[in-house]
Structure 1
Amino acid sequence: GKTSIAASFAKLANQRIVVDCDVDASNMPLVLPHTIIQEIPFFGEKKAVISQDRCRGCGDCVIYCRFNAIKDFYVVEPVLCEGCAVCAMMCPYEAIDMVEHQSGTVVISQSDGQPFLYANMGIGEGNSGKLVSELREKAKSIAEEENYNLIIIDGPPGIGCPVIASITGTTHVLIVTEPTISGIHDLERIVQLTQHFRIPSSVCINKSDISAENRQLILNICNKNNIPVIGTIPYDEDVIRAQIAGKTVVEYSDGSASQEITKLWQTVQTMLQATIAK
């Protein structure tokens, strides 16, 4: 539900920059109509390339490669190459070069006349955390140039490098969870992460009415960690219908979920203003 909420925030905010930092699976472009302004290649790592002119076919590279990336006729398969450069170091004929490899694309666009940034990571590519950092740097640069004071980030799931890169240095993290076993498990992990980096956070319970027992477990966890629960969004099939229509929830209907998301945004605004005032 985090993308549905973040996209709705984008529609409700007057002046903002929106950044979809889920670079492995950017979904926000599906519900935010936009016009692409610029596409910037992202070179996240180097890959081995064997020079057929210098190669003598000794086979040392095949022996030393632990990823089986070197195929027939001494050609490197980029998807399998991890960029460790062991083959280049061990080649007696210096026939292997480590070459910058494009592993993704940063997309700068406009939605509703305001900046909207996202990225596409290539299939099987690495360094998604580095791509998130580059995406945020672009957003920060635009904010400084065009005098925006609000950046809304839709972060990826989990607690890995892309998540750390998404939340580092932010003013506030809104944790979206749901009353399921997996939702509770992920909530506990992200709470530990935000506390580790000392980032103020709050919680929103999505589909809050599907399990009273699990909802209470979430409230207990938040109470134990002194994290406020600032929103509860009921299960509402309008959310699904809005996605099918390619719209945000707050655009599609004035149903229960839409109303609660609007209230949630008002609360978030108040919290941000209070944090900035400090």
Structure 2
Amino acid sequence: MKQVLVLSGKGGTGKTTLSSSMIKLSGAKAYADCDVDAPNLHLALEETLEPKNSDFYGLPVAQIHSEKCVSCDLCRQKCRFDAINVKDVYSVDKYACEGCAVCQLVCPADAIEMIPRITGHLQLYQNDHVFSTAELCMGSGNSGLLVTEVKKGIKDWKEKATLAIIDGSPGIGCPVIASISGVDLVLLVTEPTLSGFSDMERIVETSRGFPAKIAVCINKYDLHLGNTEKIEKYCMENDISFLGRIPFDSDAVSLLNSGKTLVDKKGPARDAIEEILTGVLGLINLKEDEI
């Protein structure tokens, strides 16, 4: 199974719009949403199946048993995250606790216990296709670990599906790095703005730390042709595959709000995405009739 990861250096460039469009065009049987902070791929794909839900446990959280506590104050003094509250009794702020267990280590009364903590929720849709997604709980960390679990959801389909399309997170942080690991191609979506170009450079440098191929496409390219040409020149000078330009489509918002994708309407945007998909399949050595 070939894995294509769609990324952007910043939010709002059209990453999910392109991912959902390529999934519909290609008929891919495996796909995932690794933007666990704000997953929305399911909105564009109109999933009607009931998912299999499971909880994700990240680092544990400290809990102080007040009946054992001797108020020595060592836990508060040693906590680097200011997670220990002192009022009538000692307690732990679960949103500030990072699960390092230093408080448990220094407690002379054995009054502190590290307990499992749910930090996210996984959903797995399976029928004639597989769709794996998840959402991180508010204030929780370990987003990279949760992304890894999301990707495991589609691995069982490696014998059934030849292509997996993964919608990644914006930026260059832990969830992006976890998303890139093991994929065959990173497709970067950028926009013809100065911030779009700068953020694209950052994600290119991040992706180069992995063996995956890198390709670029520009969304809403006609908003600034000068910056579009600048991006294309950068790709040529840095030996990066440039796969195409997607024009601005004034109907994009209404299509997305109605749960549809850009390829549900014939026009220049659909034609451009078809061209990009052809380029993607060429880079991963996969034919359309093999999907």
TM-score, with structure 2 as normaliser = 0.88
Provide the residue aligned with 1:5 in structure 2: 18
Using the TM superposition, give the Cα deviation of residue 110 of structure 1 relative to its aligned residue in structure 2, in angstroms: 4.4
Q: Distance in 2 between matches of 1:243 and 1:136?
A: 25
Between the aligned partners of 2:213 and 2:82, the Cα distance in structure 1 is 45
Q: Secondary structure at the match of 2:50?
A: strand
The residue correspondences of 1:82-121 to structure 2 (distance < 5 A) are 82-110=98-126, 113-121=128-136
Report the equivalent of 1:197.
210
RMSD, aligned α-carbons: 1.8
Map 1:162-241; keep pairs closer than 5 Å: 162-241=175-254
- Structure number with greater CO (CA < 8 Å, separation at least 6) is 2
Identity rate, percent: 41
Post-superposition Cα deviations, 1:48-100, rounded to whole Å, max 9, x if no partner, equal: 11122322223221222232222232221111111121111111101111112
| 8 Å Cα contact 2:28/2:164 also seen in 1 | no
The aligned residue for residue 249 of structure 1 is 262
d(CA) in 2 for partners of 1:203 and 1:100? 41
The code of the aligned residue for 2:78 comes to: Y
Per the TM alignment, residue 194 of structure 1 is displaced from its structure 2 partner at its CA by: 2.1
Aligned residues: 272
Q: What are the Cα deviations for residues 108-131 of structure 1, in whole angstroms up to 9, with x where unaligned?
A: 0248x4211111001111110111
Question: Could you say which structure has the higher helix fraction?
Answer: 1
One-letter code aligned to 2:117? H
Say which SS state the counterpart of residue 222 (structure 2) adopts. coil
- TM-score of the two chains, using structure 1 as the length reference: 0.92
Q: Which residue of 2 aligns with 1:155?
A: 168
Deviation at 1:274, TM superposition (A): 5.8
State the match for 1:258 in structure 2: 270
Distance 1:36 1:90 in 2: 46
**AA in 2 matched with 1:54:** K
Match of 1:143 in 2: 158
Of the three residues 131, 137, 155, the one matched with 2:146 is 131
Aligned to 1:197, what secondary structure does the other structure show? coil
Q: Are residues 213 and 190 of structure 1, via their aligned partners in 2, closer, same or farther at CA, if it must alter by over 3 Å? A: same
1:56-67 equivalences in 2 (<5 Å) = 56-67=70-81
1:3-34: CA deviations, max 9, x gaps? Answer: 00100111112342110011111011221111
Structure 1 distance, partners of 2:50, 2:169, is 22
Distance 2:95 2:225 in 1: 46
Deviation at 1:208, TM superposition (A): 0.5
Amino acid at match of 1:43: Y
Deviation at 1:209, TM superposition (A): 0.7
Corresponding residue SS for 2:276 = helix
Give distance in 1, aligned partners of 2:274 and 2:252.
14
1:152 Cα deviation from its structure 2 partner: 0.6
Instruction: Give the gaps of 5 or more residues in structure 2.
Output: 1-13
Secondary structure, counterpart of 2:249 in structure 1: coil
Cα separation, 2, equivalents of 1:84 and 1:74: 18
Query: Conserved in 1, the CA contact under 8 Å of 2:243 and 2:279?
Result: yes
Matched, 1:271 2:283: yes
